[in-house]
Homo-oligomer: A and B are copies of this chain.
Amino acid sequence: MKRVLILGSGMSSTSLINYLLEHAKDLDISVRVGDIAVESAREKIKNNPRAEAFFFNAEKTDQVSAEVKEADVVVSLLPVKSHPLIARQCVRFGKHLVTASYVSPEMAELNKTAFEKDVLLLNEMGVDPGIDHMSAMQVIDRLKEEGNRLIAFESATGGLVAPEYDDNPWRYKFTWAPFNVVTAGNRGARFLHNGKFKHIPYHKLFRRYETIDIPGYGEFEVYPNRDSLNYQETYGLKDLLTMFRGTIRRPGFCEAWDALVQLGATDHSYTMEGTENMTFREFTNSFLAYNIVDPVEQKVKTYLGLENKPIVMNKLEWLGLFTEEVIGIPELTPAQALQHILMKKWQMGPEDKDMIIMQHQFDYIRLASHHKTFSTMVVKGDDQVNTAMSKTVGLPLAIAVKLILSHKIGLRGVQIPVHKEIYEPVLRELESFGISFEEKDIRVS
């Protein structure tokens, strides 16, 4: 019997653990789930005889080492900062590792020694990053094999509330780590557009959105995501004219969120004074100039140029930013205080379901004509536990574990799933879970 070690039992572990337990007999595996919140791990394994839950502290090198040593494959769902320690132990004991996180510089450094020890450190194996790489590479490889010349690649993903539960003025709810949503994009963005490199600072990011159409779901906004250029080489697309990655939101979101960015309310670089007794209104006022005449609402309008933007002002008001409610927590950064305010309004209700949308656009030249392929995925959550996010993150991880255990992946070293030997079997199996892409091809000229 082989042993799968899962570190971390947060939201996205549900689909991973369920899949592995369902296949436990076929694969002849046992599953050991460790979390600092051991109760959460225990809940997830549901008394399955092939599974056990245990208290796990990722900061104790001894425990990491002892656990990794006994495992055959390790899956880490811990925060990205914990991964290098775990990866080093995996390399040491010759165990394969799968994560859904971006490859950090510390992880990248392990490539050579992992290769020498015949170990695979497979990262970016969730949805974004993960399914985005796999589904894009499948189309890119096919277009190339057919002899086309790819000239533009644009890709966007968003975690949203499903349309039936889209019932607030922002048309958004937290379906994933709220803090990451509040600070999203704060390092600005870079991409390539028609042969020109484009650089957008954070304070302009939410004014530089584009719109896309998702068949059956209408228009969405897409704001640029971090450094799109990172993947040009990995994807083998060095001659592209346009390379853009973005995040999807519903119409109207970007303009209103921009108001919070302009205000400085998403800043995480310093701690505010007196947030324990600060009202939401005082929080808002702390970003505005002293002025004894105008109420806070008017100061916001003037400062942010929202005089003729009642729809944006309504969204800000609906959040409670002008109320006398007290934050009540000491020593918060602006971003943390804003997260606290947003949590009261953007929390998913007990019946709410989430949705993941992903769309790639490929422009290519076939003979002398310009074509465009749209490839679109929409996945809805089943309920609060089996969310779209949990399925699209957890299932690719689980399938990767299966492929590794059955020796179907020969790659070694630090990898991400841009290789056919990974994306083909994973995408094929994801289809059986309703996670699939619809393609539409048009001739542009």
Contacts and interface: CB of A to CB of B under 8 A. Distances in A.
Contacts of A194: 290
A10 to B, nearest CB: 29
B198 A290 contact: yes
A287 interface: yes
B197 A287 contact: no
A187 interface: yes
A262 interface: yes
B289 A197 contact: no
A308 interface: no
A287 B194 CA distance: 14
A25 interface: no
B197 A274 contact: yes
Interface stretch (A177-185, A199-207, A324-332): A199-207
Interface in A160-179: none
A264 B199 contact: yes
A199 B269 contact: no
Contacts of A187: 269-270
A208 B200 CA distance: 22
A197 B270 contact: no
B203 A273 contact: no
Interface in A212-251: 227, 229
A369 B202 CA distance: 47
Contacts of A286: 196-199
Contacts of A203: 201-203, 262
Nearest to A194: B290
B264 A201 contact: yes
A267 interface: yes
Contacts of A342: none
Interface in A265-291: 267, 269-270, 272-274, 282, 285-290
A201 B260 CA distance: 11
Nearest to A288: B198
A188 B267 contact: yes
A273 B204 contact: no
A267 B199 contact: yes
Interface string A328-348: 000000100000000000000
Given A264-B201, A290-B196, A334-B199, A229 B273 contact: yes
10 contacts: A193-B289, A196-B286, A197-B274, A198-B286, A198-B288, A198-B289, A199-B334, A200-B264, A201-B264, A203-B203
